[in-house]
Amino acid sequence: AQKVTQAQTEISVVEKEDVTLDCVYETRDTTYYLFWYKQPPSGELVFLIRRNSFDEQNEISGRYSWNFQKSTSSFNFTITASQVVDSAVYFCALNSNYQLIWGAGTKLIIKP
């Protein structure tokens, strides 16, 4: 069965702290893709990153970084030096054929 688990329902940190959002997935596919999306309070869904199963290199984009570990079926997302504008719900998703299987999301609250 394909499944994505985001165990952290809500995280609250003070601005400038680092924060890591966890994502654990289950799949029988040998080739798959993982995604992170951001949903700010305004409600739209914003694509952040796509990673295929053959590429285990960590990725860094500014204050954002992603740690993909096939051995633990995890694709965690870290925000360094968080800012209030990072407050949002973050979703991890797994591609299964042409469908995205979504986690329940982690609500991130950054306090000033």
* The two structure tokens encoding residue 14: 């003070």
Our CB check for other proteins shows the closer of 75 and 105 to be 105
- Residues found near other proteins in the complex (CB under 8 A): 4, 33, 35, 43-45, 47, 50, 91, 93, 95, 97-100, 102-105
Three-state SS for 26-75 is: ECCCCCCEEEEEEECCCCCCEEEEEEECCCCCCEEECCEEEEEEHHHCEE
Strand partners, 99: 96
Our CB check for other proteins shows the closer of 73 and 96 to be 96
Q: Taking the complex as a whole, how short is the minimal distance between the CB of residue 47 and other proteins, in angstroms? A: 4
Our CB check for other proteins shows the closer of 13 and 104 to be 104
